[in-house]
Structures are given as structure tokens and as C-alpha cells.
Amino acid sequence: MTADTAPILTVRDLRIALPEGADRPFALQGLDLTVHPGEIVCMVGESGSGKSLSAGAIMRLLPEPHVHVAGGKIIFEGEDLLAKTEAEMRKVRGNRISMIFQEPMTALNPQKTVGWQIDEVLKLHMGAKRKERQAHALEMLKRVHIPDPESAYNAYPHQISGGQRQRVMIAMALSLSPKLVIADEPTTALDVTTQLQILKLIRDLQKEDGAGVLFITHDFGVVAEIADHVIVLRQGEVVEQGPADQVLNDPKHPYTQALIASVPDLLPPPPKPVTTLPVVLKGTGLRKTFAARGGLLTGKRKAVVAVKDLSFELHQGETLGVVGESGSGKTTVSRLVTRLLDADAGAVEVDGTDLLACTPRELRGMRKHIQMVFQDPMASLNPRKRVVDIIAQGPIVHGEDPDKARARARDLLELVELSPAAANRFPHEFSGGQRQRIGIARALAMEPKVIVADEPVSALDVSVQAQVLKLLADLRDRMNLSLLFVTHDLRVAAQLCDRIIVMQKGEVVEAGFTAEIFANPQHPYTQNLLASIPGRTWTPPYRKTDAA
């Protein structure tokens, strides 16, 4: 549609060199891309594909000299950016090219008000009087739909919500009507409903201003939502690029096909007749408030209710999803049922025994029945222990012979599809997905009745995520496990869960079979959540791939 106008940004054969001893010599090898006015170009790739570094190269924000541009051309509005001096670059940055970062909390200075920070950009590049600048800043805040721009102007970053902070970032980025906006995963840190609003906002504003947008993301749902043109990166090389429609619905390169096939689809499994099976885990009337501990002089702050009167039942062999946005209390639920946190009221029954009424000694014995897979694969394995000891630890604590437990740990590694050679290594030698597999093996070593999984795949790349989810589903079916699966990602929930509980601000707003809720959500919050899934109208094409 805009292909005949002159491009804003042309990148030719860009190479970025990595320091010696890195996993590959070039972070980016021969990147070609063009951004036209009014076009959104999405750069997609998994972690380590070099997508963020390419943005850094365009803005000249690379951590030089370790990482530096080794060749190629970056032509912005007819000028070669690589030939510019640092002083000339400073005039371009923020003024004609601006950037929106991933984490709005850390991208804003916590010590200065929002207004001061927008004004700083204007002071540097606009050359207008203070009054005019303030009027312009307020106008921009209004354009990004911040409720009450005047009070937001005087607020500090911590006083406004995450979504509003990202709006402020966008207002800052667009305040000088740049020709090119680089957005580096701008919605990754946001909740799904906020994400959709921000995506819409970026698209609307960009249409009004006619700027070109280079949008970096790992999420194909977001790509489907926003992109005109798509570039797929893998390990620093472009594997495929083309119009969004073509790449998404008819990918040519096997890697793109595999990536797209890994995106969980939104078709939940048909409801299983599970209600006749015995209940293995039952929560009744669970409640947890976090009382903020007041100091001697500061006085008591208001207590926060994290979970308010939660009841649920988990049947044998069933997967129950707990979904909700951040702050909904879903992680607290996972800690309450495993009694890593003590509930204020209620009961958690595992096979008829109330976990919350146990003495510490009884509790240690009961723990083998309910195991957990944690969210952060980097933090959940003790960095100073060998994998075999990590997996065998549970059984040894519960009195099994150490040699037998270690032998079984090696078998479990095979079960989670890792080579037995992994047994004697330390956790830092593994990738995120592999660590999560080790975490699963550790949980399985106890032969638990219930596994509680707290966002087990949210830190993983999409192709790895698909593999870990498949493993979990396989193991569940093979070993007749019951899963309590906490997630914020409705696509993941749709793929794995038989029933779901939707939580909002500590309360259950809706519960039922996944298929029924997805087809016909009753509560407005659930409806809103489902309508906010990025790319919900796009169904990934199904293709056979040789792997994954």
C-alpha cells in the first residue's frame, strides 16, 4: 500500500560482531530490511536471535566496543547513520528516531515526574518556551489516552500503573513526531488486556502521524495483531520475510513453519467426563491477606487481600487451570495449596488429609504427595548442586537409599527426554527449557498425586514452550497425574487444561470446562480477557513439521 513511497529506513547487509568467546562470531549476519512511512515492520525471533541488537545498532546504542557493527549500511531518510558522528547521532535520537522500551518501570527515571521526563526530550529537540512545551506534553498525554493528563504530568512513575507508564513512554517517543519508531517488545511486560490497548494505541497513533514502526517481538499473536510486514530472525540470520498475511498464513521456510506450529491454538480439548473420578485435591474457603508490616514510626499500612474465599476440586488425571492477570492472586493460590505460604483460613485436602492442619513433622511427610514445578527455570534449581542430586534430593529426604534414589534420578532424566550425561552437570550448563525439564523430573521423583505448576512455561521461547507443554501433557496421560496449572496465558491454558478457574483481584469470577468458557464466557471480565488475546482471529495454519 505504501511500497511506492520512498523508504524511511533501509538496512543493507548489517553485521554485528560479538566479543570473542561468545557462542557465535556475529550476532547479526547480513540483515536486510526496509521500513516505509506508515508501515509496521515486525521483527520476530526467539531469544538470542539478535533482534534487540539490530535495534541497538540503528540507534547506535550497542554496548561498544565489545559488540559493534562490523559491516553493512543503515540508511535513514537518505543519510547513512553509520557515517554520522556521535554528536550528529544525538540530534537524530529521540528527535527523528525514537524508541519504546520493554520495561516501562526501568526505562523511566523513578526520581523525576512524568512531566519532567517528557519535558527533557522536548527541551533537547524542540526549542520552544516552557509554557509551549508543557502544553505540548499535556496534548501528547491526552493523545495516548491517559485519564487526567494534568495529574499524570505531575506524577512519579511509581504512582501510575504499568499500562499507563507504557503510555507515557509512547507519548515521549511520539512527542516530536519522529519518522521512525523502534518498539522493542513494548507489551511483553504487560497484562493481556493492557497489551491489546497499547497495541491499538501504537497502531492508531502511527496511522495519524504516518511514521514507520520497527516492532520487535517474540510473540506471533502480537505479530498477527499489528504487523504489515514480517521478518523472521534465527540466530542472527533472516530466514524469511514478506507481507504479514503471507508469512503468517503461508510460511515458506521450515523454521517459520515450526515456530508458527508451536503457537498454541485456541481450541480447548473436549470436556472429559472427569467428575466421576475421585477428588485428589480439594481446597475450601481459602483466604490469604498480606498484612504490610508497619514500622515503629510509620504506622500500619492497609493489608492486601490476595485470595478471597477460594474453593475448588481437582479430580484424578485432570488438569485444572488457574488463569488471571498479574495481581489476581493466582500465584498465591499455588503457594497456598503447597503450604509454602500459610493460609489465613480454609482447608487444603490431599486425599482427605487437611494439609493446613498438619504439624510441621506431618507436613514434611505429606509434601511428597503434592509437588510443584516453578516458574523461573534460572532460580528454581540450586546452582551449587549437580542435577542428579537435585532430582534425588526429595526421595533421599523421605528415607530412600541414596544410591537407589540417584539411579532413579537418571531414569527420570530419560523420562523427561534429557540425556543421562546431564546427571553430573550443574544447572547453569542447561538452557531454560532443559532446566524446566529437570524441575519436572524433580517433581516426578516423589511420585506425587498432584503436581502444581506455577507458570512453568512463561519464561520460555515459544518453540521450547511447545515442547515442554507436550512433555507435561504426555506425562500426565501416561502417569495419570493431576495437574493444577497456574498461567496468565490463555493460549497455554486452552491447550492443556480440562477445566479452568478465572480469577480477578483474588476472587473467582468464573469456573468451568475450558471448552465451554472459551465458547461462551459468562462474566464480563472473562469476556474481556478472551477478547484481548493477541491475534485471536488468526488461526495458525497446520503443517506437518519434522520436529517439535
Partner 1 sequence: MTVLDTDLRPAEPPRYVVFWQRYRRNRAALLGLGLFAIVVLMALTAGLVDPGDPLRRAGLPLVAPFVDAANPLGTDQLGRSILSQLFYGARISLLVGVVATLVSIIIGIVIGALAGYFGGWVDDLLMRITEAFQTIPNFVLLLTLVAILGSKIEWITLAIGIVSWTAPARMVRAEFMSLRNREFVDAARNLGVSNTSLIFREILPNALPPIIVYASVIMALSILLESALAFLGLGDPNYASWGNMIGQGRAVLRTAWYCSAIPGIAIVLTVLSFSLLGEGLNDAMNPRQKQ
Residues at the interface with partner 1 (CB under 8 A): 254-255, 257-259, 262, 335, 338, 340, 363-365, 367-368, 371-372, 374-376, 379-384, 393-394, 397-398, 417-419, 421-422, 425-426, 429-431, 433-434, 437, 439, 442, 446, 463-464, 467-468, 545-548
Closer residue to partner 1 in complex, CB, 130/300: 300
Please state the closest distance from residue 96 (CB atom) to partner 1, in A: 33
**493 neighbors 322 (Cβ within 8 angstroms):** no
Residue 295's CB: how many other CB atoms inside 10 A? 8
Please state the closest distance from residue 394 (CB atom) to partner 1, in A: 4
Closer residue to partner 1 in complex, CB, 4/546: 546
Please state the closest distance from residue 327 (CB atom) to partner 1, in A: 18
**318 neighbors 273 (Cβ within 8 angstroms):** no
Please state the closest distance from residue 290 (CB atom) to partner 1, in A: 14
C-alpha span between 308 and 189 (Å, rounded): 26
Closer residue to partner 1 in complex, CB, 453/529: 453
Residue 210's CB: how many other CB atoms inside 10 A? 15
Closer residue to partner 1 in complex, CB, 264/433: 433
Amino acid in position 103:
E
Closer residue to partner 1 in complex, CB, 265/429: 429
Tell which residue, 33, 516, 498, has the closest CA to residue 275.
Answer: 498
**Helix axis angle, 162-174 to 114-125, nearest 10°:** 10
For cell 504439624, name the residue: 359
List the beta strands (DSSP E) in 4-139. 9-17, 26-35, 40-44, 68-76, 79-80, 97-100
Please state the closest distance from residue 103 (CB atom) to partner 1, in A: 20
Q: In what order do the strands lie in the sheet with 345-350?
A: 304-315, 279-290, 345-350, 353-354
Closer residue to partner 1 in complex, CB, 201/239: 239
**Cα-trace Rg, the chain:** 25
Please state the closest distance from residue 291 (CB atom) to partner 1, in A: 13
Closer residue to partner 1 in complex, CB, 128/548: 548
Please state the closest distance from residue 269 (CB atom) to partner 1, in A: 24
Closer residue to partner 1 in complex, CB, 190/464: 464
Closer residue to partner 1 in complex, CB, 116/426: 426
Instruction: At 84, list the grid cell.
Output: 554520522
| 3 state SS for 201-268 | HHHHHHHHHCCEEEEEECCHHHHHHHCCEEEEEECCEEEEEEEHHHHHHCCCCHHHHHHHHHCCCCCC
Please state the closest distance from residue 254 (CB atom) to partner 1, in A: 4
Please state the closest distance from residue 36 (CB atom) to partner 1, in A: 31
Burial of 4 (0-12, 13-18, 19+ CB in 10 A): exposed
| C-alpha to C-alpha distances, 501 to 181, 313, 327, 521, nearest whole angstrom | 39, 11, 15, 12
